Amino acid sequence: MQSPLAQPPEPTDTATSSKSPADLYKQAMHPLDVVRGSLDNWSDAELGALAVGMHMANEDCAQTKPELYKGDDLFNLARLCAFGQDWEGANDAALAYIAQREEEHRTQSYAISVSSLFHMRAVDLAVETARGMLKFPYDAEVAYALRDLKNNLVQASDPAALSLAEAEHPLIVAALKQGVPLKAEHGDAVIGLGALYESAMQLAFLDRYAGKDDAAAVAAADVQAALPATATLAAEDQLRIDATARRYQLLGTHLPDVKILRALQSPAAKAQVDLNFASATVLVLFPDWCVECRKMMKTLTKFAEVNRDTPIHAYGLVFADDSVVLGAPAHEQNLEQLAGTRTLVVPATAVQALGATDYPLGIVLDDTRTIRFVGTLPADAFSGDGYVSKLIVNMVKIAHNPPQLTKKGN
């Protein structure tokens, strides 16, 4: 018998009236913000305008010299070069601004340098620079810069993500204890408690992926105890905190029963996940409007076919998101684009069951149906020896060679 999935609360006048106008506005704007967040969902006109702007910024950056500017002009040159993806120019301008010992945009300039170095594949130097930022007052700019670098390192399967998260841990926990959104020391940047909590929990996730379960439990307990019970949370923050906690709770447990409505691979395909979980099973949850996710299903299907003798299973789990797409015909049009792929249609309640907030959400299970990974996947996750392959290799490695404790328990 399938266990019931967690159901979202029914909309009522009471539920609406309990939210502030600001929360209601954010809730109404959320679908648009989510869609805008991926370039795959932009129109041809928008992409064209972006390309023109980036080209102009790149040309302008190439024709300027940092030594000709100072103060705000120099900082804006670093921003211009970063927008044009002239990473060397952006780094040079950012370092020149830092060298002038200006305070106002110092942290932002370090952040531009970190991003530029990573894109230039000077990863060790990017990590070293980010560690230097931990000596600054821990504000929103520092938190955003480290979060972005940690995510980039994770998707590059770089173990430096774990050591960087360990170094940041006491600072981000201290910030959570304040119980208010973290603001920038200079500027308007703010990181909400939900995003801060999620970034803080990344250490616990990374410890689990490394097979360090005891360290993960300590890190998770630190984060969960840090947020004061008296903190006033916006609805969006509460949703992100609950979803992050749900994803962490899933690690080491069996996959929840998620009802499968139908298969899109072919009329004869079974509407189920193969009950023989084999060497590994990879699931990718996404809403039907996610263009990037729909494109991923083609490479996921090829990945499953190439690895069927291992065997490794892979399935997409798509749901109809009525907050973005209106009407059954529109949903069906999106699903038609997934025909021939290993995609299964599931109810929207899978979102709560799997703690999804960002997409595509990947879940990797071992041969016992136990979840070993849950997190957002990069667009090229199934390409060649990509992110998913590395996740599976690491999962098998940890299973056969778990970390050994020292006499001190470290």
- In tens, the pLDDT along 186-223 reads 989 999 999 999 999 999 999 999 999 999 999 999 99
Are both 377 and 308 inside the same structural domain?
yes
**Mean per-residue pLDDT, 290-311:** 94
Q: Are residues 228 and 300 in the same domain?
A: no
In a domain, residue 357? The reply is: yes
Q: How far is CA 314 from CA 52, 299, 302, 305, 318, in A?
A: 38, 10, 10, 9, 13
Sorted by sequence, the CB contacts under 8 Å of residue 307 that are 6+ apart come out as 314
Asked whether residue 332 carries a pLDDT value surpassing 90, the answer given is yes
3-state secondary structure (DSSP) of residue 317: strand
According to the model, what pLDDT value does residue 14 have?
Answer: 42
Q: Is residue 408 part of a domain?
A: no
- Point out the domain boundary residue: 195, 217, 250: 250
pLDDT value of position 20: 67
Look at residue 10 and tell me if it is in a domain.
no
Q: How far apart are CA 342 and CA 308, in angstroms?
A: 13
**CA distance linking residue 364 with residue 145, whole number of Å:** 28
Domain that holds residue 184: 20-250
Same domain, 42 and 127: yes
d(C-alpha 336, C-alpha 371), whole Å: 30
In a domain, 407, yes or no: no
Residue 118 in contact with residue 88, Cβ under 8 Å?
A: no
Query: For residue 410, what is the DSSP state?
Result: -
Quick: pLDDT tens for 70-117.
999 999 999 999 999 999 999 999 999 999 998 999 999 999 999 999
Position 401 pLDDT exceeds 80: no
Residue with tokens 């899978």: 350
Is the same domain home to 189 and 146? yes
Amino acid in position 355: G
H helices of 84-157, where?
Answer: 87-99, 106-119, 123-133, 140-155
Question: Any idea which residue has 């250490």 for tokens?
Answer: 203
pLDDT of residue 2: 35
Instruction: Tell me which residue has tokens 């006048």.
Output: 13
Query: Can you give the CATH number for the domain in which 321 is found?
Result: 3.40.30.10
Do residue 287 and residue 378 come from a single domain?
Answer: yes
Average pLDDT over residues 380-387: 90
**CA angle, 213 then 3 then 10, to 5°:** 105
Question: Are 276 and 368 within 8 A, CB to CB?
Answer: no
> Phi then psi for 344, rounded to 5 degrees?
-115, 140
- pLDDT confidence of residue 31: 64
Q: From 250, 280, 295, give the residue that closes a domain.
A: 250
Tokens matching residue 9 = 């609360």
State both tokens at 90: 């952006």
pLDDT higher at 202 or 235: 202
What average pLDDT is seen over the chain? 89
Q: Are 349 and 8 in contact (CB under 8 A)?
A: yes
**Within a domain: residue 409?**
no
Q: Are residues 279 and 231 in the same domain?
A: no
Domain with 71 in it: what CATH number? 1.25.40
- Read out DSSP for 240-290? HHHHHHHHHHHTTSBPPP----EESS-TTS-SS--S---SEEEEEEEETT-
270 with 197, same domain: the answer is: no
Q: Identify the domain boundary among 220, 250, 280.
A: 250
pLDDT in tens, 22-59: 666 676 676 667 667 777 677 788 888 989 999 999 99
The per-residue b/e assignment along 384-397, b for 16 or more CB within 10 angstroms, e otherwise, is: eebbbbebbebbee
Domain for residue 391, yes or no?
Answer: yes
> Do 202 and 296 share a domain, yes or no?
no
Same domain, 242 and 268: no
Residue 7: the pLDDT is: 34
Number of domains, the chain: 2
240-296 residue pLDDT tens: 999 999 999 999 999 998 999 999 999 999 999 987 877 899 999 999 999 999 999
Q: Classify residue 318 by its DSSP letter.
A: E
pTM: 0.86
Question: Which pLDDT score is estimated for 398?
Answer: 86
Same domain, 177 and 213: yes
Whether 330 is in a domain gets the answer yes
My answer on whether 223 and 147 are in the same domain is: yes
pLDDT at 409 over 70: no
Same domain, 188 and 335: no
What letter would DSSP give residue 68?
G
Above pLDDT 90, what percent of the chain? 74
Band of residue 176 on the pLDDT scale cut at 50, 70, 90:
very high
Could you tell me where the DSSP H helices lie in 13-86?
Answer: 13-17, 21-36, 44-62, 71-83
Q: Is residue 255 part of a domain?
A: no
CA distance 305 to 340: 12
Q: What are phi and psi of 224, to 5 degrees?
A: -65, -30
Question: Rounded to an integer, what distance in angstroms lies between the CA atom of residue 120 and that of residue 107?
Answer: 20
- Helix, strand, or coil here: 340? coil
Say if CB 394 and CB 387 are below 8 A apart.
Answer: no
